[in-house]
Homo-oligomer: A and B are copies of this chain.
Amino acid sequence: MFKSAVFDLKHAEKEQVKEFLNSFDTVLSDCDGVLWIDNNAIPGSADTMNYFRKIGKRVFFVTNNSTKIRSDFALKAQQLGFIADENEILSTSYLVAHYLKSIGFKKKVYLIGSNGIGDELNAVGIKHVGVGPDHVKPDFKSLKPTDLDSEVGAVVVGFDEHVSYPKFMKAASYLASEDCLFVATNTDERFPKSSSIVVPGSGTLVRAVETCSERKALVLGKPHEYIRKYLESCGLNPARTLMIGDRCNTDIEFGVRCGFQTLLVLTGVTSTRDLEKIRKEQIAPLPDVVLPKLGDLLEIVKS
Q: List residues of A whose CB falls within 8 A of some B CB.
A: 133, 138-140, 143-145, 148, 160-165, 168-169, 172-173, 175-176, 189-191, 193, 195-201, 203-205, 207-214
Chain B, residue nearest A198 (CB): B172
- Expressed in whole angstroms, the Cα–Cα distance for A164 and B160 within the complex equals 10
* CB-CB nearest in chain B for A163: B165
Closest 6 CB pairs of A and B: A200-B212, A172-B198, A208-B208, A204-B212, A138-B161, A207-B211
Stoichiometry (number of copies): 2
- 9 A–B contacts from the bound complex (CB under 8 Å): A140-B161, A144-B197, A173-B198, A176-B193, A176-B198, A200-B212, A203-B211, A204-B209, A208-B208
Structural contact, A196 and B165, CB atoms closer than 8 A? no
A160-B165, A164-B164, A165-B160 as given contacts; A200 in contact with B211, CB under 8 Å: yes
Residues in chain B near residue A140, CB distance under 8 A: 161, 191, 199-200
Q: Which residues of B contact A207 (CB under 8 A)?
A: 207-208, 210-211
> Which of A160, A161, A189, A195 has the largest number of chain B CB atoms within 10 A?
A161
Closest-CB distance, A179 to chain B (whole angstroms) = 14
Is the beta-carbon distance between A165 and B161 smaller than 8 angstroms?
A: yes
Least distance between A147 CB and chain B CB atoms (Å): 8
Give Cα A66–Cα B133 distance, bound, in whole angstroms: 27
A145 (CB) vs chain B CBs: closest residue: B196
Given A162-B165, A169-B200, A176-B196, 6 new contacts (CB under 8 A) = A139-B161, A145-B196, A163-B165, A175-B198, A189-B211, A189-B212
Cα A286 to Cα B277 with chains together (Å) = 42
For A161, list chain B residues within 8 Å (CB).
138-140, 165
Output the nearest chain B residue to A187 by Cβ-Cβ distance. Answer: B211
Contact of A190 among B133, B172, B204 (CB under 8 A): B172
Q: Are A212 and B190 in contact (CB under 8 A)?
A: yes
Specify which chain B residues have a CB less than 8 angstroms from the CB of A163 in the assembled complex: 164-165, 168
